[in-house]
């Protein structure tokens, strides 16, 4: 009897901790408002076609699922809300790019059952100041998190994507 009560208690605690890990940490709207001090510019959109589509496919190893990607711009600073599947479900992240480098990166919505640790500052701060090499790779290694490899890889690809999109938007003027 004691073992079954203990097992039930542990299962309840585990289920509670997993439900805490998943969820909306910050809505995309709140992230955008925070970045622009509650006065965001109107969203613009980049259309994924031609060379842009090919460049994103090279970064992601597959076609991006959306044809139009919204972004917000203030001068040479852009904000991107992007999604990528970690293991099974999409992870939504916000990126602020300025001077062709990551100014800020934040996990906004996490839907997976594992890997939620990517939302912590010790992980996201590794991207601060990161930029793309000539081969559209990050200029630095990003440490993995045990048990979160697919989520880590998804965030590395999204950061490359945000940097690439920023560069394309600014160079198309």
Reported confidence tier of residue 5, pLDDT bands at 50, 70, 90: low
- Can you give the pTM of this predicted structure? 0.86
Nearest C-alpha neighbor of 93 from the set 75, 76, 112: 112
The rounded distance, in Å, linking the Cα atoms of 85 and 109 is 12
In three-state secondary structure terms, 145 is coil
Over 60: is that where the pLDDT of 94 sits? yes
Mean pLDDT, residues 10-25 taken together: 57
Residue 21: predicted pLDDT: 60
The domain locations on the chain are: 23-171
Residue 65: predicted pLDDT: 87
Q: Kindly calculate the radius of gyration of the chain based on its CA atoms and give it in whole angstroms.
A: 18
Mean pLDDT, residues 86-103 taken together: 96
Is there a contact between 97 and 168 (Cβ–Cβ < 8 Å)? no
Mean pLDDT, residues 144-152 taken together: 95
108, 109, 115, 117 alpha-carbon torsion, rounded to 10°: 30
Over 60: is that where the pLDDT of 23 sits? yes
Is there a contact between 46 and 71 (Cβ–Cβ < 8 Å)? yes
């Amino acid at each position: 009897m004691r073992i079954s009560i203990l097992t039930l208690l542990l299962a309840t605690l585990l289920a509670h901790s997993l439900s805490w890990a998943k969820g909306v940490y910050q809505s995309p709207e709140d992230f955008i408002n925070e970045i622009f001090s509650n006065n965001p510019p109107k969203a613009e959109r980049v259309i994924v076609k031609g060379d842009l589509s090919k460049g994103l496919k090279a970064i992601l190893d597959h076609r991006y699922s959306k044809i139009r990607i919204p972004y917000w711009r203030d001068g040479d600073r852009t904000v991107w809300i992007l999604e990528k599947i970690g293991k099974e479900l999409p992870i939504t992240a916000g990126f602020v790019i300025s001077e062709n480098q990551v100014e800020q990166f934040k996990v906004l919505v996490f839907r997976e059952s594992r890997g939620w640790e990517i939302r912590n500052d010790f992980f996201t701060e590794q991207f601060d100041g990161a930029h793309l090499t000539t081969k559209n790779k990050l200029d630095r290694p990003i440490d993995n998190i045990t048990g979160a490899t697919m989520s880590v890889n998804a965030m590395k690809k999204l950061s490359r994507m945000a940097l690439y999109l920023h560069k394309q938007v600014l160079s198309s003027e």
